[in-house]
Structure 1
Amino acid sequence: MDPSKVSIFKTYEKPRGQGGSGSFATFMIIGPVCFFLGMLFSSFPYDYPLLWTSEVTPDAYYDQLETHLKFLHASPPIIPRILHIAISIGFIGFFIKLFKPSEANLLFDGASLVLYVVGVVVYITNIVKGLRIVTLGVYGVPEGSSDLAIGREDSLRVMAASNTILALVLVGVLVLQAGQWYAERKEQDEVEKFEKEQEEKNATKGQKSGGHVTRSSSKKKQ
């Protein structure tokens, strides 16, 4: 094998996140994110009348939504355990990809991790807390030293808005992961193009040097 080709391959270091553990770690991130988006999509029919329509929401709808949320909060312990395991799988995927990170990892995976943490915070502070309030039925109670009290309808609207915010955050994670894949793919294509050009140049130089050697040897024989 031509030594110049060997040096070219040595200078190219495959970006992290392509193949091997990087691809599996990406799957560990995308899988839970899509799982959570599916859960939020199943709640969209309940959230739509509260946020996206100008029509007056009847009181019977609030009763129906409240019953639905109480049923979710009273689900068997295995349901929240599966949810928390899925959240943990996403964090493990980020930690694998950010172990000895490259510049691309810090840009895309770092921003994705920030959005993922924001989503977890929204889930804990708004959704879980809202489910507890709905189950207890303690609407309109001031929190802490604040005199601000949120009624039943506003509390349910806050939960619906939290679901929407969480969905947008998770979509942002998917967009960043797709952007990382595109950037790495583009870089790989450029490297392959550069390697091909170098091979053609080396082949052309080899042909020229071979022709020069044959001409010089013929002159010596003369």
Structure 2
Amino acid sequence: MAAMNGTRVSVVVFATSFLLGLLFTHWIADSLTLWKPPATDERLWMAARYYFVIAQTSIGFLYFFAFVAIGGGFTILWCLREGEAGNLMFDGGSIFLYASALAVYMHTVLPNLNANFVPISEFAKEIPESLKRSTLELASSHLVCSVALTGVLALQAGRWWSENNGDPDD
């Protein structure tokens, strides 16, 4: 049984780390908008061009990313099904954070990419207010997803630690 738990936790950690890696690749654009004030028109244009490229991603890649995300969520639910106190606490928190990250991504990031990042005229000096807002919202949503998925990793590490350093009488 312990080997099966280790495999499940490994799948959760793999899926979460993979999704975090995808979000971290956006750092090149997100850092221009969130972490380097002020968010000048030049930086926002650079970020918007990056997001335009991302919006053109092949559907095959999107299906693969969705497969990994669904697999990770399913595995957390599978771990939660055992009903042990540790599972309820760590995996319950993990599924909440994981589902929150997926919800933000599906309901904020994807619609924003599809609706606002169409071919962009680079000749305009000022970035349109709607594109500026969309770029900042996208970067903020990436940050929310990253923090939630980092919380999943922290909870899974806490679960591992509690299982391996539990009651000395065991």
Q: Give TM-score, length-normalised by structure 2.
A: 0.87
Letter in 2 for 1:86: V
Percent identical residues: 22
Structure 1 gaps, min length 5: 1-17, 138-149, 193-222
Written as runs of structure 1 = structure 2, the 5 A alignment for 1:50-199 is 50-57=33-40, 59-136=41-118, 151-187=130-166, 190-192=168-170
Written as runs of structure 1 = structure 2, the 5 A alignment for 1:194-213 is none
- Give the whole-Å Cα distance in 2 for the aligned partners of 1:186 and 1:56: 47
Give deviations 1:72-106, integer Å, cap 9, x for gaps: 12221111001000011102211221223101110
Distance change in 2, residues 1:47/1:33 (3 Å): same
Residue 15 of structure 2 corresponds to residue 21 of structure 1: no
Letter in 2 for 1:51: L
- Give the whole-Å Cα distance in 2 for the aligned partners of 1:164 and 1:121: 14
Contact in 2 for aligned 1:29/1:91 (Cα 8 Å): yes
User: How many equivalent pairs are there?
Assistant: 161
Could you tell me which residue of structure 1 aligns to residue 21 of structure 2? 38
- Give the whole-Å Cα distance in 1 for the aligned partners of 2:39 and 2:86: 48
Instruction: Look up the SS of the partner of 1:158 in the other structure.
Output: helix
Q: Give TM-score, length-normalised by structure 1.
A: 0.67
Give deviations 1:116-139, integer Å, cap 9, x for gaps: 0000001011110110122347xx
Contact in 1 for aligned 2:98/2:152 (Cα 8 Å): yes
What root-mean-square deviation, in Å, do the aligned CA atoms of Structure 1 and Structure 2 show?
Answer: 1.8
The structure that has the greater radius of gyration is 1
